């Protein structure tokens, strides 16, 4: 069965650097799909091409079997890795401002409840904590009631409490039947949230499957401390090596 999204022979070159190097994969409907890779692997470049935020050097993206229409950006929710917010607006005013940009939208109250923003709805954007900021970014991505949600490193920089809390919210969103595409380099996050995974490095796709398939295929002989079974982090380190990537 063709995927909700088909990524076909995607290439993105920046002058001499090939950030995305001829990758093809398919994203099924209704899953939480994880695009994994170390720093600089090409995750943001890939997800932004799929979102139609930047254009590829070559290759094709098919959505429901066809090239994306102009309405694609209206229909999907996008949480960017970096977003600037207006410091003189409150959380609630920011949500209303974004809501007004769309024809179809979620009720503000629903989004506030889902993303646990009620207590800080009157707070100014520049006065929120890291965890609150990520919940606001998630709320903004949900404001047009999308069926397809893109999250670029949703929990990077958060403390363990805030990260686990955000995971619970993402799991609730998934239960609503939305398709989620997220990037991460936290393997615990991928293991907890993702049904289907692609691992990238140096712009190339190096592994693809469910978390358990990846562990079985690439790590059945991984040497662990003998006290635990191999996990996704063992797969990730085996596939991408131990060298620094910043
Ligand atoms: N606009 C740009 N111009 C030139 N090079 C770029 C540009 N955007 C990204 N790159 C380069 O492309 C490569 C892939 O970057 P990308 O941001 O896609 O990686 P990433 O996997 O998202 O990394 P991270 O985990 O750090 O977010 C990197 O070498 C990066 O420096
Ligand atoms: Mg990135």
167-201: pLDDT as tens digits? 999 999 999 999 999 999 899 999 999 999 999 99
How remote is the CA of residue 28 from the centroid of ligand 2, in Å? 22
- Give 164's pLDDT tier (boundaries 50, 70, 90): very high
Mean pLDDT value across the chain: 93
**pLDDT per residue over 99-109, tens digit each?**
999 999 999 99
Burial class of 203 by CB neighbour count within 10 A (0 to 12, 13 to 18, 19+): buried
**pLDDT per residue over 48-100, tens digit each?**
999 999 999 999 999 999 999 999 988 999 998 777 889 999 999 999 999 99
195 lies in a domain?
yes
Is residue 178 within 8 A of residue 106, CB to CB? The reply is no
CB of 14 shorter than 6 A to ligand 1: yes
How remote is the CA of residue 8 from the centroid of ligand 1, in Å? 20
Report the share of the chain in percent with pLDDT over 90: 84
224 lies in a domain?
yes
> What pLDDT shows up at residue 1?
65
Nearest listed ligand to the Cα of residue 38: 1
Q: What is the 3-state composition of the chain as percent helix, strand, coil, each rounded to the nearest 5?
A: 35, 25, 40
> The domain containing residue 101 runs over which residues?
5-240
207 lies in a domain?
yes
- Give 221's pLDDT tier (boundaries 50, 70, 90): confident
93 lies in a domain?
yes
Spatial distance between the Cα atoms of 87 and 84, rounded to a whole number of angstroms:
9
Is residue 41 within 8 A of residue 200, CB to CB? The reply is yes
Spatial distance between the Cα atoms of 105 and 66, rounded to a whole number of angstroms:
24
CB of 43 shorter than 6 A to ligand 1: yes
How many domains, the chain? Answer: 1
Residue 87 corresponds to which tokens in the numbers above?
A: 């410091």
Domain containing 112 — which CATH number? 3.40.50.300
206 lies in a domain?
yes
245 lies in a domain?
no
58 lies in a domain?
yes
**CB proximity list for 66: less than 8 A, separation 6 or greater:** none
How remote is the CA of residue 45 from the centroid of ligand 1, in Å? 6
246 lies in a domain?
no
**For the chain, how many helices (H) and strands (E)?**
9, 10
């Amino acid at each position: 069965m063709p995927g909700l999204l088909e990524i076909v022979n995607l290439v993105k070159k920046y002058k001499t650097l090939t950030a995305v190097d001829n990758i093809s994969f398919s994203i099924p409907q209704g899953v939480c799909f994880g695009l994994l890779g170390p720093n600089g692997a090409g995750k943001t470049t890939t997800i932004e091409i799929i979102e139609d935020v930047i254009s590829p050097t070559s290759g094709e993206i098919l959505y429901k079997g066809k090239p994306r229409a102009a309405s694609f950006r209206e229909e999907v929710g996008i949480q960017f890795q970096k977003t600037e917010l207006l410091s003189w607006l409150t959380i609630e005013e920011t949500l209303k401002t974004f809501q007004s940009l769309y024809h179809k939208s979620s009720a503000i109250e629903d989004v506030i409840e889902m993303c646990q923003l009620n207590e800080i709805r009157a707070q100014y954007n520049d006065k929120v904590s890291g965890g609150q900021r990520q919940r606001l970014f998630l709320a903004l991505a949900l404001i047009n009631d999308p069926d397809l949600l893109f999250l670029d490193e949703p929990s990077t920089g958060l403390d363990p409490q805030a990260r686990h809390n955000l995971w619970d919210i993402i799991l609730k969103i998934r239960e609503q039947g939305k398709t989620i595409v997220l990037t991460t380099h936290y393997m615990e996050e991928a293991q907890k949230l993702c049904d289907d995974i692609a691992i990238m490095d140096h712009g190339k796709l190096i592994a693809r499957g469910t978390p358990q398939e990846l562990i079985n295929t690439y790590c059945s002989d991984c040497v662990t401390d003998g006290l635990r079974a191999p996990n996704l982090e063992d797969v990730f380190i085996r596939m991408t090596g131990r060298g620094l990537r910043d």
